Amino acid sequence: MVYYSYMAKYTQRIQVNVSNTLRDRVSLEAKRMGITVPEYVRYALLNELDDVCKVDDIDRELLRDLPQAIDDVKNGRVVETHSLQEALDVLKNYKEYD
């Protein structure tokens, strides 16, 4: 299975200052999970807020699928691409793509 990894385009931003230690820990955890720091922060916030408030259906779906995505990254089932065209080129090399 091939996944096209991309960063979601969110229009609202929050800037937070953190210590070097926390920044390093967050960066390492995101790298361990195979995702970007912003994706990890969203994941951590969604996990924390899931029981407290209603979360968008799209965010719930992303949160639900994240463990499988992490497993796919860890087990080499993900092909990283850097553009939509590159992802389409990868897909063309698979028999499932018609």
Q: Tens digit of pLDDT for each residue in 36-93? A: 888 888 888 877 776 555 556 666 777 777 788 878 878 888 777 788 888 888 778 7
C-alpha–C-alpha distance, residues 14 and 29, integer Å: 20
State whether the Cα torsion 60-65-2-32 is positive or negative.
positive
**Nearest of 16, 15, 13, 36 to residue 26 by alpha carbon:** 36
pTM of the model: 0.47
Residue with tokens 């080129």: 89
